[in-house]
């Protein structure tokens, strides 16, 4: 079977019944890139489509919005496809000598046409942390959120840092708190654009909440019984929040 993943931005073309196309679709505008691979004996063809109305009997569905309805393996497949498209779109030249680079024949890499240097797709590690204090969980609303949603503290790992150092630094920078007992939970690739989210829990130690005002609009500790709007099911933020809340509830019984 072949599945056709047509992306416009993070919107993926679906049929009106929620299926992915299994046959190629003719668009008015030319498709500018295509990526092909076989996953679990399913051939995946991925294309970036210029902005245009969907073909008859189809619609564009944002990956973020369909996330709660996806099986994890579906999300990982779409996420990988979107990240590969982003990579092809963004990396066309050798960062060592500036010459054009072309897709390598066997490696998942581009090769410089002059100096032969290989360049692999970039993955950006990003820590995300659920901070608990007694029977409450820290949630923050970032200015970048498009809806009035509260999530966990998150940020990119800097060069030379351990993940634990990144957690401590981000928490101190964004909300002015110190934490300990940093425990890794799980990871999730996040295609906005090429992040690998590394999920942790951490225990509050000291400090009053002081916001990094350029990034965070508000932050507070919340009881599991009175949470504000939180991220959708399917996101690592939501799974960490749900698990820590379940743990806090069981401890307070
Ligand atoms: Zn080069």
Mean pLDDT computed over 201-217: 97
What is the Cα–Cα distance from 214 to 143, expressed in whole angstroms? 8
What is the CA(141)–ligand 1 centre distance, in A?
42
What is the CA(89)–ligand 1 centre distance, in A?
18
pLDDT digits (tens, 9 = 90+) for 84-131: 888 888 899 999 999 999 999 889 999 999 999 999 999 999 999 999
Contact of 234 with 75, CB cutoff 8 Å: yes
DSSP-derived pairing of the beta strands 124-133 and 195-206: parallel
What is the CA(98)–ligand 1 centre distance, in A?
6
Mean pLDDT computed over 181-193: 96
Q: According to the model, what pLDDT value does residue 33 have?
A: 66
- Give the ranges where the chain is alpha helix by DSSP (H): 63-66, 72-90, 163-175, 236-252
Contact of 6 with 21, CB cutoff 8 Å: yes
Mean pLDDT computed over 222-230: 97
Give whichever of 48-52, 53-57, 128-132 has the largest mean pLDDT.
128-132
What is the CA(9)–ligand 1 centre distance, in A?
29
What is the Cα–Cα distance from 234 to 228, expressed in whole angstroms? 18
- Domains of the chain with CATH codes: 2-90 (3.90.79.20), 124-252 (3.90.79.10)
Mean pLDDT computed over 140-148: 92
What is the CA(95)–ligand 1 centre distance, in A?
7
pLDDT digits (tens, 9 = 90+) for 236-249: 999 999 999 999 99
What is the CA(91)–ligand 1 centre distance, in A?
12
Q: According to the model, what pLDDT value does residue 147 have?
A: 87
Q: According to the model, what pLDDT value does residue 118 have?
A: 96
pTM attached to this predicted model: 0.91
Mean pLDDT computed over 224-233: 96
What is the CA(118)–ligand 1 centre distance, in A?
8
* pLDDT above 70 for 183: yes
Q: According to the model, what pLDDT value does residue 52 have?
A: 84
Contact of 12 with 63, CB cutoff 8 Å: yes
Residue 27: exposure state from Cβ atoms within 10 A (0-12, 13-18, ≥19): middle
What is the CA(27)–ligand 1 centre distance, in A?
35
What is the CA(99)–ligand 1 centre distance, in A?
5
What is the CA(86)–ligand 1 centre distance, in A?
20
What is the CA(93)–ligand 1 centre distance, in A?
8
pLDDT digits (tens, 9 = 90+) for 10-44: 899 999 998 999 998 888 877 766 777 788 888 88
Contact of 74 with 124, CB cutoff 8 Å: no
Average pLDDT value for the chain:
93
What is the CA(83)–ligand 1 centre distance, in A?
23
SS (H, E, C) 107-164: CCCEEECCCCCEECCCCEEEEEEEEEECCEEEEEEECCCCCCCCECEEEECCCCCCHH
């Amino acid at each position: 079977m072949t599945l056709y993943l047509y992306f416009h931005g993070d919107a993926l073309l679906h049929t009106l019944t929620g299926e992915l196309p299994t046959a190629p679709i003719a668009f008015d505008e030319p498709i500018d890139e295509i990526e092909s691979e076989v996953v679990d004996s399913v051939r995946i063809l991925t294309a970036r489509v210029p902005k245009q109305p969907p073909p008859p009997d189809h619609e564009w569905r944002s990956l973020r919005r369909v996330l709660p309805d996806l099986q994890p393996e579906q999300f990982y497949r779409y996420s990988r496809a979107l990240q590969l498209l982003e990579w092809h779109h963004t990396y066309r030249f050798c960062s060592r000598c500036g010459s054009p680079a072309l897709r390598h024949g066997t490696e998942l890499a581009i090769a410089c046409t002059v100096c032969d240097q290989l360049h692999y797709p970039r993955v950006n590690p990003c820590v995300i942390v659920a901070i608990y204090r007694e029977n409450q969980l820290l949630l923050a609303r970032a200015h970048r959120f498009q809806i009035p949603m509260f999530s966990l503290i998150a940020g990119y790992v800097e060069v030379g840092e351990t993940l634990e150092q990144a957690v401590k630094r981000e928490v101190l920078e964004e909300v002015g708190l110190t934490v300990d007992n940093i425990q890794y939970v799980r990871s999730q690739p996040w295609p906005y654009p090429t992040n690998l989210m590394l999920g942790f829990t951490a225990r509050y130690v000291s400090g009053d909440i002081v916001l990094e005002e350029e990034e965070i609009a508000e932050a507070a500790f919340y009881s599991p019984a009175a949470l504000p709007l939180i991220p959708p099911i399917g996101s690592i933020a939501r799974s960490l929040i749900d698990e820590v809340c379940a743990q806090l509830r069981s401890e307070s019984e």
